[in-house]
Chain A
Amino acid sequence: MSSIKKIWKFLSSMRFAILLLVILAGACSAASFITQGQSYTWYAQHYSERTAALILALHLDDAFHSWWFLLIALFLCLNLLFCNIIRFPQIRQRVKAQSSPPKNSTAAFSAQDITDPDAVFQHLHMSPSRGSDENGCEVLYASKNSIGLWGAWVCHLGILFLIAGFSLGQITQQQASVYGIAGQTKPVGDTGLILTIDDFRIGLREDDTVEQYTADLTVGDPAKGTVQSATVSVNHPATLLGWKFYQNSTGWAEQITVTENGEPLQAELLCAGEYLRISDKPDLVIYFNAFYPDYVFVPGSGPKTVSGHLNNPATLYTVYYQDQILGMNVLIGEEELTIDEYTVIFSEPRNYTLIQAKKDSFTWLAFLGGFVTVIGLLLAFYVQPAKVWAIKEGSGSWAVHGSAKSGILFQEKFLAAARAGGAGKEINHAAD
């Protein structure tokens, strides 16, 4: 056998498929225990320096996008593809053989001395055709659920679609995030689109829990002069100008005003998690950590909010000077923060929304793959092919034979059918 043939045979073999499935399962489970996307310092702090170096060397910090993970996935695709190419003519031949008179068919079970072969087929809900076998003997034969033979093949095809859709989506997809408060207009990353948040509402239930986050959006493409509007909420994205927009998350924003010796210096709208650099003293930075609408301090736990209502608003901030922390504290109500000649005021708290924009042209292929995989599994597991044939013997009685994918379970039905047909002898199992 040539080397190419050997490689082809190995790549398309079930042994290789099992090996890949086990390796993939092991790789996924190992990667799930390692926090993904962290730095060397983070891993060194949480594990050890040696482990951190190992994690980075093996690309375990981004395992699902690492070269070795992609290589396993590639081999799995090749295995599925080659397997399906090899099996296509074989299955087609088997399906054809299922509905043809038995020639060299291997019986999994047989019964002799059948007096009424029609009763056997009737019992099995099969309609027999008449023909003759290779020896010219009269034969009755029937098959059912031949389409079930395609089950595994269709399932493999579905998985190929799924992997292809996912991979192409990962390579080609574009996404961007925009956050802001109602009334703001911002560019959508570098997509060339402009997004206006017309309104943002938080639907609260009577018990103060959040029922829904809803944003009214208008998206424009200045280059083409097109504009589209829609309302998005969690679980209800909208497609605007070919992009899909999602209501992703929310948080608090506040107006931050800085005065220098009582004179206005700068004013900006800041979302929690953002910072403000003092314009005429860039080394001085005010970081907006968090906002608590109904503030309480729980000893041992820290600052908390007891409701979403503005009953006792408070702002947690950190002051940095030349990248060193000068201080961290909470401003309650209208308290002001004074740093030398500067006075900082946080005011007008309101909710901002985070809108995610995404364009993935291959999601449909991945979902089609999922659908085809399910169809394939249904065919493989629940459309069980079976073939039964009866050969007239010299004595005038019939010998009935059968083969089925479900094996012993069909054998039991076959046994009952053979008895209904007047079987004189016990069933013979081919393996016995």
Chain B
Amino acid sequence: MLQIENTLSTIVMLLYFAAMILYFLFIAFKRDSFSRVAILLQIIGFVLHTIALICRGIGAGRLPLTNQYEFATSFAWGLCLVSLIFVLRFHFPVLGAFAAPLVFVIIGYAAMQSKEVHELMPALRSNWLGFHVSTAIIAYGSFGVSFVLSIIFLLRDRMKEKGFLDQHIPNREKLDVISYRSVSLGLLFLTFTIVTGAIWAERAWGSYWSWDPKETWSLVTWLVYAAYLHLRLRRGWQGKSAAIFAVVGFVCVMFTYLGVNTFLPGIHSYA
């Protein structure tokens, strides 16, 4: 099973790479056919990615969500899922063009991690693991999409080619609303992540909140996005200002994911 997962992971990486190139060609040559093939490749890649994760889960005899490799590949999976939903729901292939490199970078990071399967330490042997980490994956994926949307928003006014953009990128108001939608999805799932993590921590460590760096930075991320949602309600803060705030929020997400593990070890050090 792990051999199948290994082979599938390589194919998935190639498919995501091909989709990314086709998205670039779509923007460079302004031909819709490139975006259609790119979306198709991304969907095939996503399906194979799902199968690869299932194979790893069967091979490891547990949910594949417990080490750096597994979380990174799942993060790429979550980002791909949420970006595909938004691309298809809002007929927005340009979003795919900006999200695909991020997916590729994250899955590339996953490929650099050790793929060795380790048995779980007692603290990780809990049904809450699945709820806690899978909700984090959707949250991170949604925040990734909001980051990409905010970048598109900020770049939109600087782009010279207006005809193509008007056809393929929603207007500022709609972009802002779509970004809000992805942040709200992310915040909902991040709240799930924090709550399920607290319940689990209470059972495993006897304390549902210990101000561990990972917990603290999850809270920081939550607070930043909560501030974003409140700022949007204030006159003059929708649009560009909100987009900048969403970018800052994603920097916090990435620090929670990578920075905390690197610079601030704590009881979440295995994550």
Contacts and interface: CB of A to CB of B under 8 A. Distances in A.
A408 B230 contact: no
A373 B122 contact: no
Given A234-B122, A374-B191, A29 B217 contact: yes
B119 A207 contact: yes
A356 B206 CA distance: 8
A370 B203 CA distance: 16
A15 B263 CA distance: 33
B206 A246 contact: yes
A275 B234 CA distance: 62
Contact of A18 (B200, B220, B231): B231
B191 A18 contact: no
Contacts of B118: 209
B216 A32 contact: yes
Interface stretch (A3-11, A20-28, A134-142, A309-317): A20-28
A377 interface: yes
Nearest to A406: B177
Interface string B174-212: 100100010011011001101100111011111111010
A235 B123 contact: yes
18 contacts: A15-B234, A25-B252, A28-B217, A29-B217, A32-B217, A32-B260, A32-B264, A209-B119, A209-B121, A234-B122, A235-B125, A237-B206, A363-B202, A367-B199, A374-B192, A381-B185, A406-B177, A408-B173
B188 A378 contact: yes
Contacts of B230: 14, 17-18, 21
A236 interface: yes
A10 B202 CA distance: 37
Contacts of A22: 223, 227
Contact of A32 (B123, B174, B199, B213): B213
A64 interface: yes
A140 B200 CA distance: 51
A358 B201 CA distance: 14
A33 B217 CA distance: 11
A235 B216 contact: no
Interface of A: 14-15, 17-18, 21-22, 24-25, 28-29, 31-33, 36, 64, 166, 175, 205, 207, 209-213, 233-237, 244, 246, 248, 356, 358, 363, 366-367, 370-371, 373-374, 377-378, 380-382, 406-409
A210 B233 contact: no
Nearest to B171: A408
Contacts of A24: 223
Contacts of A377: 184, 187-188, 191
A14 B234 contact: yes
A377 B230 CA distance: 13
B216 A31 contact: yes
A211 B216 CA distance: 29
B119 A21 contact: no
A343 to B, nearest CB: 39
Q: Which of A234, A236, A373 has the most CB of B within 10 A?
A: A234
B99 to A, nearest CB: 20
B227 A21 contact: yes
Contacts of B199: 367, 370
Nearest to B184: A381
Contact of B121 (A210, A246, A374): A210
B264 A33 contact: yes
Given A28-B219, A381-B188, 14 more contacts: A14-B234, A32-B260, A211-B125, A213-B122, A234-B123, A246-B205, A246-B206, A248-B206, A366-B209, A370-B191, A370-B199, A374-B188, A408-B174, A409-B181
Nearest to A22: B227
Q: Is the interface of B mostly helix, strand, loop or mixed?
A: helix
Contact of A25 (B126, B213, B223): B223
B103 to A, nearest CB: 24
A17 B224 CA distance: 12
Contact of B204 (A212, A234, A374): A234
B226 interface: yes
Given A32-B213, A33-B264, A235 B191 contact: no
Nearest to B198: A370
Contact of A409 (B177, B205, B224, B231): B177
Contacts of B223: 21-22, 24-25, 28
Contacts of B195: 367, 370-371, 373-374
A28 B122 contact: no
B177 A235 contact: no
Given A18-B231, A367-B198, A236 B203 contact: yes
A210 B231 contact: no
B177 A234 contact: no
B51 to A, nearest CB: 27
Contacts of A237: 203, 206
A237 B207 CA distance: 12
Q: Which of A207, A233, A235 has the most CB of B within 10 A?
A: A235
Nearest to B219: A28
B206 to A, nearest CB: 4
B194 A370 contact: yes
Given A234-B125, A356-B206, A378-B188, A21 B220 contact: no
